[in-house]
Amino acid sequence: MMYSWQHALFAQLAAQRATLPHALLLSGRRGIGKADFARHLARALLCEAPQPSGDACGTCPACGWFNSGNHPDYRAITLSDDDHDEEEGDEGPKKKAPTQIGINQIRALTGFMTTSTHRAGLRVVLIDPADALNTHAANALLKSLEEPLPGTLYLLVCHQPRRLPATVRSRCQHQPMPLPNPTEAREWLVAQGVTDPDLFLALCAGAPLEARVVAAEGSSARTVFMSALLRTDITLVGLSELATKIPMVQLVDWLQRFSYDLMEQKYLGQARFHIDLAKQQSALAAHLDAYDLLAWEKQLSEARRVVNHPLNPRLFVESLLAPWMTLRAAAGSY
Ligand SMILES: [Zn+2]
């Protein structure tokens, strides 16, 4: 599958069908649909009767094999449990959850590479995410990239190209992947049934697939904002960005309840409103300066009176959040 913001790039690459390089490095931030695009491109390139648009026909034998996951000339390599490179000792402690692509996965391609392709067509290897190739795997892959076999295309999907060895990068044609514009991203999320698309997009820096995941995790707008508020690594700009997506009255309301909770936690050891955050609030409350917290509460009550007509909404939001940032910073890492 492919997304609306990728159509132009697809058309461009499909038009180069006959002259594509032997390795494409598809890079871009997480959650913008790179891997889906790579699979879509692979299927189109393997199709035996592509449409004039360059898209796969969907009905030829090649499309059938691809869709059922057993096209003989296609391999997808991704994070796997099966390969921990146990014979190699310099990758640090071994973890249970797959975080790497190991050398055995790359070695396993050898047989695939030496067999002739079906009807002498193209052979496609998808590596996703290439960031996860460990050193040995990257070196093994480099050998294949240095001596490319004719008719073989490597598609490397990568979140952070700088994490790839320069030697691998230099053997690929670098193709940055497009981000949707805010309207496209919002429309896509709405079509996916996400309410509050702007909030989730702000939280995920405009990456719609990531925003859908966060939204699907059941995070309500409030949970998302409140957890951001409790984070130590968030900046005033980042927090304000998020806050401006929330109706102003709602925002002040949440903040008032938050400050009230903190005060209650500090002196009574309980929370009344954001009870789902009680544990975090309680740990933090003990380290907050009571006098400053009270001053913030007062400021929020005053803000409540002008909330419907602030002169400059952005400045208004920042003025409400800045004292919290100071309070939070003064509490330090406890
Ligand atoms: Zn086809």
Please state, in angstroms and rounded to a whole number, the distance separating the CA atoms of residues 104 and 117.
22
**Tokens 């320069």 — which residue?**
166
**Which pLDDT does position 95 carry in this prediction?**
46
Task: For residue 151, report the distance from its CA to the centre of ligand 1, in Å.
Answer: 18
Strand 152-158 and strand 23-27: pairing?
Answer: parallel
pTM over 0.75: no
Task: For residue 35, report the distance from its CA to the centre of ligand 1, in Å.
Answer: 20
Which residues make beta-bridge pairs with 156?
25, 127
pLDDT digits (tens, 9 = 90+) for 154-201: 999 999 898 899 999 999 999 999 999 999 999 999 999 998 788 778
Task: For residue 62, report the distance from its CA to the centre of ligand 1, in Å.
Answer: 6
Task: For residue 114, report the distance from its CA to the centre of ligand 1, in Å.
Answer: 24
Please state, in angstroms and rounded to a whole number, the distance separating the CA atoms of residues 314 and 96.
45
Please state, in angstroms and rounded to a whole number, the distance separating the CA atoms of residues 18 and 28.
25
Task: For residue 117, report the distance from its CA to the centre of ligand 1, in Å.
Answer: 16
Task: For residue 76, report the distance from its CA to the centre of ligand 1, in Å.
Answer: 19
Please state, in angstroms and rounded to a whole number, the distance separating the CA atoms of residues 2 and 35.
9
Task: For residue 108, report the distance from its CA to the centre of ligand 1, in Å.
Answer: 27
Domains of the chain listed by start with CATH number: 4-176 (3.40.50.300), 220-331 (1.20.272)
**Going by C-beta distance under 8 Å and a sequence separation of 6 or more, which residues neighbour residue 103?**
83, 85, 88, 134, 136, 137, 139, 140
Total residues found in the chain within this entry:
334
pLDDT digits (tens, 9 = 90+) for 80-96: 765 454 444 444 444 45
Instruction: Encode burial over 120-142: b for 16+ CB neighbours within 10 A, e otherwise.
Output: ebbbbbbbbbbbbbbebbbebbb
Task: For residue 45, report the distance from its CA to the centre of ligand 1, in Å.
Answer: 9
**Which pLDDT does position 50 carry in this prediction?**
94
Q: Quick one: angle between helices 313-331 and 236-243, nearest 10?
A: 130
Task: For residue 34, report the distance from its CA to the centre of ligand 1, in Å.
Answer: 21
3-state DSSP assignment of residue 308: coil
Task: For residue 46, report the distance from its CA to the centre of ligand 1, in Å.
Answer: 7
Task: For residue 126, report the distance from its CA to the centre of ligand 1, in Å.
Answer: 19
Task: For residue 176, report the distance from its CA to the centre of ligand 1, in Å.
Answer: 27
**Which pLDDT does position 87 carry in this prediction?**
43
**Tokens 């032997």 — which residue?**
22
**Which pLDDT does position 86 carry in this prediction?**
46
Task: For residue 47, report the distance from its CA to the centre of ligand 1, in Å.
Answer: 4
Task: For residue 60, report the distance from its CA to the centre of ligand 1, in Å.
Answer: 4
Task: For residue 66, report the distance from its CA to the centre of ligand 1, in Å.
Answer: 9
Per the CB < 8 A criterion, the answer to whether 6 and 209 are in contact is no
Please state, in angstroms and rounded to a whole number, the distance separating the CA atoms of residues 87 and 106.
15
Residue ranges in the chain whose pLDDT is less than 70: 81-97, 120, 203, 218-219, 333-334
Task: For residue 125, report the distance from its CA to the centre of ligand 1, in Å.
Answer: 18
Please state, in angstroms and rounded to a whole number, the distance separating the CA atoms of residues 112 and 116.
8
Q: Where are the beta strands (DSSP E) in the chain?
A: 23-27, 74-78, 123-128, 152-158, 173-176
